[in-house]
Structure 1
Amino acid sequence: MQMSFRWYGEGDPISLTDIKQIPNMTGIVTAIYDIPAGEVWPVERIKELKKAVEKEGMEIAIIESVPVHEDIKMGAAKRDHWIANYQQTIRNLASVGINRICYNFMPVFDWTRTSLSAPLSDGSNSLAYDEKVAGNIDPLSGELVLPGWDLSYQIDDLRRIMDIYKDMPEQQLFDNLIYFLEKIIPVADEEKVYMAIHPDDPPWSIFGLPRVVINKDSIAKIISSVDSKYNGITFCTGSYGADRNNELCEMIEAAKGRIHFVHARNIKWTGEKSFQETSHLSRDGSLDMVAILKKLVEVSFDGPIRPDHGRMIWGEKGRPGYGLYDRALGATYLNGILDTIYHHTEEGVES
């Protein structure tokens, strides 16, 4: 596996110099964040990003993410135009040697939390989701805004889009996803680019919006509907693990060979559909990180893995979930588990 770290570009308060000091850190997970969803990423901009990372002695492990235009998700009249642009972005990334892309198919909103700084008993704070609080939030009021959300919509546009989704059966959203994959995966095949769909976060309906990347069954349908090794998934332990019905090791087994990226983080269940993010340590949360990593090694996953959302510790201020200190601790914890697994594998598997 390649240890990697999310970097939000030159405007990120965490520098590449900071990141490369984390032991065994060789991969950067990044994107071009100022290009609107649906627009083609110019080759020159991609080269600039790649050069900045390589100047610090690391490499771009995967692009996270190339956003999918809302018209594609809704199956709107202009979707083929936006899909053609997406195809070209895949080609442009491949032309400079970038061969992995993470993306999601979540309607309107990206990941959702109801608190960005919920306190933990050790004095740190972290992201949390409370089902009761979420049920009382009106997403059209502007009272909930999270990092990474597309805020370009005017309120009338947002209301119109949400009305469309609220009348859309989950099967229709899934069909729109497959339509998209049937168009882009042949290009990914040609360019040898691994496409890794991120699960819905959390993996259940919020604000009345449909969700279709939520469990083992949905993974199986996605990878079998467009059968190519380049059509795969991002295995996010915290997203899938938020649903206590998801058996993560079984899901890894079901998706073996098609896991192209891993987000590793732990969460603590605090209700049927409520949770708080914790340190990566297994005993601090509800997920067995050791068993998860063992299973990933067992199925021969050898792609990039990154410590996902971290707590805010030691007084650090910054983008919620994306501080330096706890994610660096997370990477070190993951390194320790992997070193132990690799060194005790009879077959002599090496990282």
Structure 2
Amino acid sequence: MMLMHQTMRWYGRHDPVSLADIRQAGCAGVVTALHHIPVGDIWTSDEILLRKKMIEDAGMTWTVIESLPVSDDIKRQSGNYLYHIENYKASLRNIAACGLKVVTYNFMPVLDWLRTNVYYKLEDGSTALYFNRIDYVVFDLFLLKRPEADAEYAVEEIVKAKERFNAMSEEERAFLFNNMMLGLPGSDDAFTPGQVLSELQKYQGIDAAKLKEHLFYFLKEVVPVAEEYGLKMAIHPDDPPYPVLGLPRIMSTEKDAADLIEAVPSPANGLCFCTGSFGARADNNVPAMLRRFGDQVHFLHLRNTKRDAEGNFFEADHLTGDTDMFEVIKEVLAIQHRRNISLPMRPDHGHQMLDDLKKKTYPGYSAIGRLKGLAELRGTEYALHKMLYE
């Protein structure tokens, strides 16, 4: 059977979800990164092989990196960006020498994904990641107090945000603040308001067009190295897929993906196709995008979101959100048979549920919720493959 290569993300030794847990979930591989290496530094072969051996000793493989971070200096083309690009090339050479195949990265300025509530309670008692538009405006205007932020919002939104803020208790304000200020995945460190405002200021004068220029410059430098050494570069889309905190986002739509592929045409330049990030926008037809870009998809994040007209969304069950996962998996199977490959995939942003409700885990990365999602995806894929290809 030409089925997807099923993996889960692992954050290293301190991850409460162990390699044994992931293996028992039925995964053949792990997706991970060297989170302890500062952004901009070189990943050495010794460090890569040490992590690889840990995973192989647990009975799995490591072929997909998530992520090899791109520094904000590179994104801004400031400071040490040329030095960081050369280090990135050196890391790619070491990664290839150690037998890895796919390098995931993103080009989101300052912050990675953002949610207003990482413990949003669902009807069945489990919790999910949630983005509430008005709570986000509350954070921006009244907690972070970003200068001139009110110019970016409609009057109605500002009125609603002010009412929401006034009705909040101190505990609710602190809860929202802490959720929005969570550090990057893989880190226990949270940002402070001063740090965020300082970093936001560094992007003054960089709009979406300029940031996209910087992305293409970076890719024109590193993609030839990746191609020479047999690696695939896979960009993760923006999450949420629209501007946040005054920062541009440039990998949110079908046009953004097309621009990336056209700017640096190469078999090494492609997508980490995240159905949840693209699916959080109503104007993205996710199955059609997958059909269009199938030859440039190097890694799959399969998750689902449920959105409303107000701009809110939460992480739904993998099969029941706004994206038709049946059609997505059917298209994935067609891509795999056409390209004669098994695409690496991981379930993403599972619900916190059952015994995991009593544990502290990385938001969206508890074991049981992802196991449930993997089982749903695996079952759908297996049934479709039997129906269409046997």
TM-score normalized by structure 1? 0.93
How far residue 146 of structure 1 moved from its aligned partner, in angstroms, is: 2.2
Pairs within 5 Å for 1:257-296: 257-282=295-320, 285-296=321-332
Structure 2 residue matching 1:337: 3-state secondary structure: helix
Name which of 195, 198, 218 aligns with 1:180. Answer: 218
How far residue 155 of structure 1 moved from its aligned partner, in angstroms, is: 6.0
Specify the structure having the higher radius of gyration (Cα): 2
How far residue 156 of structure 1 moved from its aligned partner, in angstroms, is: 5.4
Change (3 A) 1:166 1:274: farther
Pair 1:100-2:86 in alignment: no
Name which of 8, 11, 15 aligns with 2:11. Answer: 8
The amino acid across from 1:119 in the alignment is K
The amino acid across from 2:363 in the alignment is P
Residue matched to 1:343: 386
Name which of 119, 122, 147 aligns with 1:120. Answer: 122
Gaps of 5+ in 2: 146-176
Residue matched to 1:169: 207
Residue matched to 1:199: 237
Structure 1 residue matching 2:246: 3-state secondary structure: coil
In the alignment, is the contact (CA less than 8 A) between 1:71 and 1:78 conserved in 2? yes
Name which of 339, 342, 357 aligns with 1:302. Answer: 342
Residue matched to 1:53: 55
Structure 2 residue matching 1:234: 3-state secondary structure: strand
Name which of 115, 131, 136 aligns with 1:134. Answer: 136
Give the whole-Å Cα distance in 1 for the aligned partners of 2:238 and 2:229. Answer: 27
Give the whole-Å Cα distance in 2 for the aligned partners of 1:33 and 1:271. Answer: 37
Name which of 220, 227, 232 aligns with 1:189. Answer: 227
How far residue 199 of structure 1 moved from its aligned partner, in angstroms, is: 0.2
Give the whole-Å Cα distance in 1 for the aligned partners of 2:243 and 2:192. Answer: 23
Give the whole-Å Cα distance in 2 for the aligned partners of 1:173 and 1:257. Answer: 25
Deviations 1:176-196 (A, max 9, x none): 000000000010011111110
In the alignment, is the contact (CA less than 8 A) between 1:185 and 1:231 conserved in 2? yes
Structure 1 residue matching 2:203: 3-state secondary structure: helix
Give the whole-Å Cα distance in 1 for the aligned partners of 2:135 and 2:195. Answer: 25
Residue matched to 2:182: 146
Structure 2 residue matching 1:257: 3-state secondary structure: helix
Give the whole-Å Cα distance in 1 for the aligned partners of 2:47 and 2:65. Answer: 13
Structure with a larger share of its residues in helix? 2
Number of aligned pairs? 344
Structure 1 residue matching 2:210: 3-state secondary structure: helix
Residue matched to 2:377: 334
TM-score normalized by structure 2? 0.84
Residue matched to 1:210: 248
Give the whole-Å Cα distance in 1 for the aligned partners of 2:307 and 2:52. Answer: 38
Structure 1 residue matching 2:7: 3-state secondary structure: strand
Fraction of identical pairs, as percent = 37
Structure 1 residue matching 2:31: 3-state secondary structure: strand
The amino acid across from 2:269 in the alignment is N
In the alignment, is the contact (CA less than 8 A) between 1:216 and 1:254 conserved in 2? no
How far residue 157 of structure 1 moved from its aligned partner, in angstroms, is: 5.5
Give the CA RMSD over aligned residues: 1.8
The amino acid across from 1:118 in the alignment is Y
Residue matched to 2:164: none
Pairs within 5 Å for 1:302-321: 302-316=342-356, 317=359, 318-321=361-364
The amino acid across from 1:4 in the alignment is T
Structure 2 residue matching 1:255: 3-state secondary structure: helix
How far residue 256 of structure 1 moved from its aligned partner, in angstroms, is: 1.5
The amino acid across from 1:110 in the alignment is D
Name which of 214, 228, 250 aligns with 2:288. Answer: 250
How far residue 267 of structure 1 moved from its aligned partner, in angstroms, is: 1.2
Change (3 A) 1:199 1:69: same
In the alignment, is the contact (CA less than 8 A) between 2:241 and 2:252 conserved in 1? yes
Gaps of 5+ in 1: none
Give the whole-Å Cα distance in 1 for the aligned partners of 2:133 and 2:386. Answer: 42
The amino acid across from 1:293 in the alignment is I
Give the whole-Å Cα distance in 2 for the aligned partners of 1:129 and 1:15. Answer: 28
Deviations 1:42-101 (A, max 9, x none): 111111000000011110130100110000001114211100011111111111101111
Structure 1 residue matching 2:128: 3-state secondary structure: strand
In the alignment, is the contact (CA less than 8 A) between 2:287 and 2:324 conserved in 1? no
How far residue 154 of structure 1 moved from its aligned partner, in angstroms, is: 7.4
Deviations 1:163-216 (A, max 9, x none): 232431200000000000000001001111111000000000011110000011
The amino acid across from 1:84 in the alignment is E
Give the whole-Å Cα distance in 1 for the aligned partners of 2:12 and 2:198. Answer: 33
Identify which range, 146-155 or 92-101, moves more after superposition: 146-155
